[in-house]
Structure 1
Amino acid sequence: MQSHFTVIEVDVVMQANRHGATRKGVSSKIKGRCDALDMPTPTVRRLLVGHLLRHVREETGLDLDDAGKLIGKTNSTMSRVERGHTALPQHVLQKLLAAYEESAPGVIDRDEILDLARGSQDRGRWSGYRSVYSKYFRMAVDLEADASAIFQYQNEIVPGLLQSEEYIRALFTTAQLQLSDQSTEDALEARLERQAVLTKRNAPHVSFVLSESSIRRVIGSRELMANQLRHLASIARLRNVQVQILPFDAATAPRATHDFNLFRVPSPGNAGPLEFVYVEDFTDGRYLDRHDDVHAYTLLWQQLVAAALDPVESEKFIARAADEFAR
């Protein structure tokens, strides 16, 4: 697995170069961004509909074949619907919900599911400066926007949500990409919009475990790194943010060889949260939602948290590193 620096952080810029100019500057982008993020994204609406449908089907005791027969759909189609890969037309969904309700009265909240489904096929979110995101990364951005909890492990660079503007620009330079001024601004705007999730209304709880190398690796200059680490420390003081450093000499460093994100999205009713793990290689990203996969990464996360410095010691560690860069 390659680091996010190789794929996510740089690929945004490569996409920006292909799409060209779409916006003017970044000076006024923050206004209104936090409020916009309070609206559920179409992708997550579709995932939640599938998650709820699977829960209700399992409560009724039906398998995918049985459920498909209720509305004239195949096992494969029903599987795609429950995984959020496709959506049923509203009238077909209503028919399915009515059939489920007959089998298990009181288990289903039809209005909740139908309301989620109405916005699940909206388009246009990825136009303008947002078009810089690779298609495989867009679902991660949506999950990030709608999650109630985010857990991220990062190996080699400071995560995108914690980067300062000058650090972001230096990353673009380090990648040695020839970009127009507008392409750079589009990529920067997209990154800054993601960061607004940390301070929006009903902001998620966001926890980071960062390898020591991610704050030691010089991006741009030593002065820039000192400023970046001070920026990191200020974000770590937010009530909903926790940052821990995994030092080089950690006594029990787990076998975490690649970056990963664990997203937890609240679900209506008693279906339990929607959970996804996002991992990637050099050219693609994978979304894992099988219980066994999520459980394995949850255990790995717990091991990383246990091996890392606690938040208070991590804050001191970051401050010392910033002072060293400033000398």
Structure 2
Amino acid sequence: MGNARRTARRRRLGSELRALREAASVSTEEAAKAIHGDKTKISRQETGLYRTTRLELEVLLNLYKAKDEKQRQWLIALSAEGNKRNWWHRHSETLPNHFKETLTLESDAASIATFQSRVVPGLLQTQAYATAVLTGNAQPLSEEQLNLSVDIRMSRQSIFLRGNPPQYATVLTEGVVRQQIGGPQVMADQLRHLAALSQTPELAIQVIPYAQRRFTNTGGSFILYSYPAPLDFDVVQVSYLGGDLFLDEAEAVAKYRKAFEELRASALSVPESAELISSIAHEFERE
């Protein structure tokens, strides 16, 4: 079923619709009848497995007597995510759902904040570095899969070329910029690329040096996506070996936002980080 893909927006919309339905004492049967569907459809919508169209949403909000205009507009904005076709749509059948969610989130986020303790973030990688990273995938890729994955990773970086690029902030451990992924020359080129990107107003790249004693335990790398009104929506992405978790609960988001600010506070400033990155690049170039 083409719609049977849970996304952060669908999950949030579904939970809000369920809360409104229960508050209005409307049964799933009554809700299903109103949109000419069945109980299964309502259940799938409320658990984020099925997209709710604008017309269905309007009908349900009226049925639930949702009068708050700000809330209505927020829910309408959440429901709109399924209406646009993305550049990666032609690869949709071959991409895992969790990766499609990543692409969807970053494609229109107003700001992206990420902490990485292993590798340079994909949106900042050079082609050679990306190839080296993906070659080390826990699940080996065929040559065709590797080439496609690298091409997609490079295409993702076009978000910085759009008319309203996202504000992007990343905190890296010093180990990330010293780990010789791909060898000295690949690393030197990657670090020169980071140093150049750090001159871009929309990008903030900071490094936590080895000498920093202050420690914030986040449990691993993560990405925080933020969207302004009318969405007013934040999502945290936490990766693990088998995929990714997407968290949108307010408490979880607040914890990760606080952790990110603590990480930034323990890192070198943007200019100091650029200087460190450039010096390490010089070390690699001499090898």
Above 0.5 in TM-score? Answer: yes
Q: State the secondary structure of the residue aligned to 1:195.
A: helix
Identical counterparts, % of pairs: 26
The answer for the alignment partner of 2:279 in structure 1 is 320
Which runs of structure 2 are paired with 1:164-313 in the superposition (5 Å)?
A: 164-175=126-137, 177=140, 179-180=142-143, 182-268=144-230, 273-313=232-272
Shift of 1:303: 1.1
Give the length in aligned residue pairs. Answer: 279
**CA shift digits 1:69-127 (9 cap, x unpaired):** 76248999767535643223555323213235x552644556982x8746626778755
Is 1:160 the counterpart of 2:119? The answer is no
Preserved contact between residue 157 and residue 214 of structure 1 (Cα < 8 Å): yes
The answer for the alignment partner of 2:23 in structure 1 is 63
Shift of 1:279: 0.9
TM-score, normalised via structure 1 length:
0.71
Shift of 1:67: 7.5
Correspondent of 2:52 among 72, 76, 88: 88
Structure 2 residues not aligned, in runs of 5+: none
The answer for the alignment partner of 1:17 in structure 2 is none
Would the alpha carbon gap of residues 75 and 112 (structure 1) be closer, same or farther in structure 2, given more than 3 Å must change? closer
Work out the CA distance in 1 between the residues paired with 2:221 and 2:145: 26
Is 1:139 the counterpart of 2:101? The answer is yes
Shift of 1:53: 7.5
What amino acid sits opposite 2:142 in the alignment?
L
Would the alpha carbon gap of residues 117 and 157 (structure 1) be closer, same or farther in structure 2, given more than 3 Å must change? closer
Preserved contact between residue 64 and residue 75 of structure 1 (Cα < 8 Å): no
Would the alpha carbon gap of residues 94 and 243 (structure 1) be closer, same or farther in structure 2, given more than 3 Å must change? same
Preserved contact between residue 48 and residue 267 of structure 1 (Cα < 8 Å): no
Work out the CA distance in 1 between the residues paired with 2:204 and 2:39: 43
Preserved contact between residue 129 and residue 186 of structure 1 (Cα < 8 Å): no
Shift of 1:239: 1.2
What amino acid sits opposite 2:196 in the alignment?
S
Which of 1 and 2 has higher RCO (CA within 8 Å, sep 6+)?
Answer: 1
Preserved contact between residue 170 and residue 219 of structure 1 (Cα < 8 Å): yes
Preserved contact between residue 153 and residue 209 of structure 1 (Cα < 8 Å): yes
The answer for the alignment partner of 1:104 in structure 2 is 67
Work out the CA distance in 2 between the residues paired with 1:64 and 1:79: 16
Work out the CA distance in 2 between the residues paired with 1:43 and 1:151: 29
Would the alpha carbon gap of residues 65 and 151 (structure 1) be closer, same or farther in structure 2, given more than 3 Å must change? farther
Work out the CA distance in 1 between the residues paired with 2:32 and 2:105: 31
Preserved contact between residue 57 and residue 67 of structure 1 (Cα < 8 Å): no
Q: State the secondary structure of the residue aligned to 2:168.
A: strand
Would the alpha carbon gap of residues 76 and 244 (structure 1) be closer, same or farther in structure 2, given more than 3 Å must change? farther
